[in-house]
Structure 1
């Protein structure tokens, strides 16, 4: 598989030219920066205590306003399930080239496919990402699970079980955000969070991590993202113009605000730019669960945030139109956001 970095990346001593980013876009010395402790870590077990519940919800809302990111611990998902899911996902990229060839597809409409760089790989020119990924829908589970890889043999079992639990966690967090914003508790239920896609991202060790990127700067197009992290670091968030590194806490999930949550909150919550850097010693494998509206769902600022002093900042649109434009513009936050301003 000449296109998959996982098939040849370990055999090169320098980054091929088509993976070298321009100086203004490459991470340079920022590919390795100290962890930042200001991104909140929220203990969801505190919600069981009436005294701490209000404060915990306010912390979630504040984190979503200031960073667009927070981590959750004591979230209720079995730690062993998380471990087994991580392991079986890593196995996908360790399979033979013959097997990966069967999974590989350049058809963006194929529901389950192994690919490299990003969906626009064929037209990316000299800006390929140091990443392979496996994409497939995972909600409703019974609708999609039969299309997933049959090997590794436990893939469907563990990823299926984890997907169900992550969807429950996402719904729980969205209800807490609704409560904190003063919306009806079930505001984000049904159509607004009716689909979920998982992207299993694999970043092989890279000989020159200062020159390339695993994922370039972007904000997520969906509603909310739940990230199952590796123990290897690599995620960086742009905060007040500076890149800050996110520590991958054992047994935590990372949560981040997507474009749709920013739009529905009329700009109160923040979808922040982030990127993935590589390193020279360890491969990194993560799973991003993208909770999103159904394609025909109409998105617009919630009426609760609009009055004579607070006009709608964004226009009304169908999610599928936003998603198509986002992909065409390669996730460029400024271009995308400007096009949907009221």
Structure 2
């Protein structure tokens, strides 16, 4: 299967191959431009001022409950590191087909895997997206090419875990339990961390394709950054909302396993990626979850007495296999384990 980048470069495309054309509902094109996702100030969330921190924790809980997405500012991650990561990611996809084939991978849990679409074995329509996926924790894996890329990924992954660790402490507080509750319950220190670069080449007819269709993310939290090209849209109150990130912010979303753990109090929200006809869009996401063999189920401590569990227990590994064995079809994988 050729990558989208190869397809674009080899054919000088003026039209879209039929196997990439995505049938869309009329509602898909209706966007709500009057709203944007909430903003959380990380420096206040980690402040020594108890009033500032309490307010930030309240805002964090509201964002997780009402939106499932927020922008994170003042996070302490250097802009230089982010820029180096974007350059390295571009460099990876600019490598020759032979060099990239070394990291192709074949199975879901291969430590490094690059490919196209979502899962070409089950996708009825191919998506306008190439990707690189690395399992970077608890064991670090990354490609050895281009030079220096592996080291940048390692540093970025480590610092991302620090940021997400603080967010999980704030979320625990917002749920009314002690700050290390999620860390202990989900064994976060030994948890799974999956690093994904999404590469969306320009498309001659962007309205006919999808970069990635509506879906939710696995895991507890996903930390996302991108180059200066828009394309992320989230579903909120039945509307599709284009996300316009602030400079040097992260986009954070609560994942399926946060929704399972909180029995639906904090939502894993549908989102999608659209493409354009002018420039490459690169987004880099890191999904943070429990260890692969951890059983995730609604936490009794977070269940009101009159609110029974809404999801069946399932290991993180089995959930990933369930998600990857089905095409992305505008439904959350959560629907498959609801009670």
The CA distance in 2 between the partners of 1:76 and 1:15, in whole Å, is 42
SS in 2 for 1:167: helix
Distance in 1, matches of 2:102 and 2:333, equals 34
The answer to whether the 8 Å contact 1:192/1:292 transfers is no
Distance 1:26 1:328 in 2: 27
Q: 1:36 to 1:202 in 2, by over 3 A?
A: farther
| Structure 1 unaligned residues grouped into runs of 5+ | none
Aligned partner of residue 160 in structure 2, secondary structure? helix
Question: Quick one: distance in 2 between partners of 1:137 and 1:300?
Answer: 23
Q: 1:36 to 1:121 in 2, by over 3 A?
A: farther
- Pairing 1:274-293 to 2, within 5 Å after superposition: 274-293=271-290
For 1:301 and 1:39, how far apart are their aligned partners in 2? Answer: 26
Aligned to 1:58: 58
Q: Does residue 195 in structure 1 map to residue 189 in structure 2?
A: no
Question: Are the aligned partners of 1:57 and 1:177 in contact in 2 as well (CA < 8 Å)?
Answer: yes
Provide the C-alpha distance between the structure 1 equivalents of 2:133 and 2:86, rounded to a whole number of angstroms: 15
User: Separation in 2 of the partners of 1:333 and 1:298?
Assistant: 26
Secondary structure at the residue paired with 1:216? strand
Match of 1:180 among 153, 174, 180: 174
In the alignment of these two chains, the number of paired residues is 332
**Does the CA-based 8 Å contact 2:32-2:239 persist in structure 1?**
no
What is aligned with 1:38? 36
Query: Which segment drifts farther, 330-339 or 15-24?
Result: 330-339
Question: 1:138 matched to which residue of 2?
Answer: 136
1:7 is matched with 6
CA deviations over 1:290-336 (Å, ceiling 9, x no partner)? 10111211111112222432222222222222222222233556463
In structure 1, the residue matched to 2:336 is 339
State the 1:53 CA deviation. 1.3
> Which residue of structure 2 aligns with residue 294 of structure 1?
291
CA displacement, residues 201-231 of structure 1 (integer Å, 9 cap, x when unaligned): 0000111110100011100121110002221
TM-score (structure 1 length as normaliser): 0.91
Looking at structure 1, the residues matched to 109 and 265 of structure 2 have their Cα atoms a distance apart, in angstroms, of 34
The partner residue of 1:261 within 258, 262, 267 is 258
Name the structure 1 match of 2:244.
247
Residues in 2 aligned to 1:94 and 1:78: alpha-carbon distance in whole angstroms: 25
- Does the 8 A contact of 2:36 with 2:241 survive in 1? no
- Pick from 138, 154, 162: which aligns with 1:160? 154
Deviation at 1:136, TM superposition (A): 0.7
Partner residue in 1 for 2:72: 72
Q: Which runs of 5+ in 2 are unaligned?
A: none
Q: CA 1:242 to 1:271, structure 2 compared with 1: closer, same or farther past 3 Å?
A: same
Question: Compared with structure 1, are the counterparts of its residues 26 and 204 closer, same or farther at alpha carbon in structure 2 (3 Å cutoff)?
Answer: farther
Whether the 8 Å contact between 1:26 and 1:212 is mirrored in structure 2 is: no
1:73 positional shift: 0.6
